[in-house]
């Protein structure tokens, strides 16, 4: 019990340190990617931190799995290096007996991964889609940015304002091009401001000119005005129509098991099964090679992690396209990984060695013939 307690304490310290490092790296990468998407008009720039938080939250099952895998592998490798495993083996215990204390340490993490994968992940993706949809449906006035050409929500107007003042309620050097109701218009004015008349918003322009051309006719009408009002579109408060499978709850995926929903469900199930398999793989892969050092095991762990999760992504695409059945993929990938890791662990536990057929062990010097 003392050995189990010290092992769990060291695992907790290693897991916590790894989790902090990986979370920081993922947050930095996500922030850079989210800022790039906001600059392209995908999100509201003021929502960058919110979107980053939801994205990192959706990545937490993967981060927790990798942190658990690295913690198990690094702690057991350190114990091999410092010959602490000799005491463990000398007490009549083998590597298989490490499964029980490691499961006692890892079961809360597995529960968190399960909750994140099946409940929090779709909620986070849904909030991201809501923010994206809300930004796409913003009104014409909200779209206007000084010094930039901006298109309206329905694509029939283009606005430009050189400078603005009073919180976007007034501006100078206004340009507006429209293509609606069978005619094209180009309007420019020295200044303009927003007025609310009844339930509608109007852009009131002062001192400008308006060019109008009907479709199919060569005539061009030019008019000069002192005041001109144009109704501008308001924010669209309608509900989101596009619902990706990643934002659906697990119960909804089970109730309508089409290919897209099965692919998403395989990803969520795979996140949990991968974390369980990583516990066995971490025990089987632990060890110490003096010629390579601890960096060799960590590099090997990263390689296994990348291959495993790439297979999850490929499997999701295969199920979505109908190339691989849902149940067969789960059994072959996760069941196969579990069987291979258990066989690997049993081989190391029993110290089995592969020999070529017909080869006899070398005789011990001084032994009787």
**186-226 residue pLDDT tens:** 888 888 777 776 666 777 788 888 888 887 777 788 888 88
pTM above 0.75, yes or no: yes
More confident residue, 39 or 17: 17
Residue 13 contacts by C-beta under 8 Å, 6 or more apart in sequence?
A: none
Please state, in angstroms and rounded to a whole number, the distance separating the CA atoms of residues 195 and 89.
82
More confident residue, 148 or 132: 132
- Helix 121-136, helix 48-81: angle, nearest 10: 150
Please state, in angstroms and rounded to a whole number, the distance separating the CA atoms of residues 181 and 231.
14
Average pLDDT over residues 19-48: 86
More confident residue, 159 or 76: 76
pLDDT for 2 equals 57
Q: Which one of 42-51, 102-111, 155-164, 183-192 scores highest in mean pLDDT? A: 102-111
Q: What is the mean pLDDT of the chain?
A: 81
Average pLDDT over residues 273-301: 78
Torsion angle (degrees, nearest 10) of CA 182, 187, 193, 196: -10
Average pLDDT over residues 276-299: 76
Angle at the Cα of 347 (from 341 to 349), degrees rounded to 5? 100
Cα–Cα distance list, 202 to 150, 195, 242 (Å): 17, 5, 30
pLDDT one-digit tens code per residue, 231-243: 765 555 556 666 7
């Amino acid at each position: 019990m003392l050995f189990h307690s010290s092992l769990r304490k060291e695992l907790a310290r290693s897991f916590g340190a790894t989790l902090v490092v990986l979370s920081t790296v993922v947050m930095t990468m996500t922030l850079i990617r989210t800022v790039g998407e906001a600059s392209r008009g995908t999100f509201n720039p003021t929502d960058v931190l919110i979107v980053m938080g939801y994205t990192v939250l959706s990545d937490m099952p993967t981060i927790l799995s990798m942190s658990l895998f690295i913690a198990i592998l690094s702690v057991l490798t350190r114990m091999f290096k410092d010959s602490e495993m000799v005491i463990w083996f000398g007490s009549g215990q083998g590597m298989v007996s490490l499964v029980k204390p490691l499961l006692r340490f890892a079961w809360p993490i597995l529960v968190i991964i399960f909750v994140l994968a099946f409940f929090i992940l779709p909620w986070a993706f849904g909030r991201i889609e809501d923010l994206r949809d809300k930004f796409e449906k913003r009104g014409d006035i909200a779209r206007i940015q000084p010094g930039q050409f901006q298109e309206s929500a329905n694509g029939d107007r283009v606005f430009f304002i050189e400078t603005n003042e009073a919180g976007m309620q007034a501006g100078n050097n206004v340009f507006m091009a429209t293509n609606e109701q069978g005619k094209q218009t180009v309007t420019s004015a020295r200044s303009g401001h927003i007025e609310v008349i009844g339930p509608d918003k109007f852009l009131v322009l002062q001192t400008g000119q308006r060019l109008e051309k009907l479709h199919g006719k060569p005539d061009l009408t030019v008019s000069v005005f002192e005041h001109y009002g144009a109704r501008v579109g308001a924010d669209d408060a309608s509900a989101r129509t596009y619902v990706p499978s990643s934002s659906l709850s697990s119960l909804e995926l089970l109730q309508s098991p089409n290919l897209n929903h099965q692919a998403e469900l395989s990803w969520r199930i795979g996140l949990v099964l991968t974390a369980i398999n990583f516990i066995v793989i971490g025990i089987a892969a632990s060890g110490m090679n003096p010629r390579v050092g601890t960096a060799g095991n960590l590099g090997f762990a990263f390689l296994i992690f990348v291959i495993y999760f790439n297979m999850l992504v490929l499997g999701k695409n295969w199920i979505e396209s109908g190339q691989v059945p849902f149940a067969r993929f789960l059994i072959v990938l996760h069941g196969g990984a579990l069987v291979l890791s258990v066989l690997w662990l049993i081989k190391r536990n029993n110290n089995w060695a592969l020999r070529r057929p017909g080869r006899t062990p070398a005789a011990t010097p001084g032994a009787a013939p």
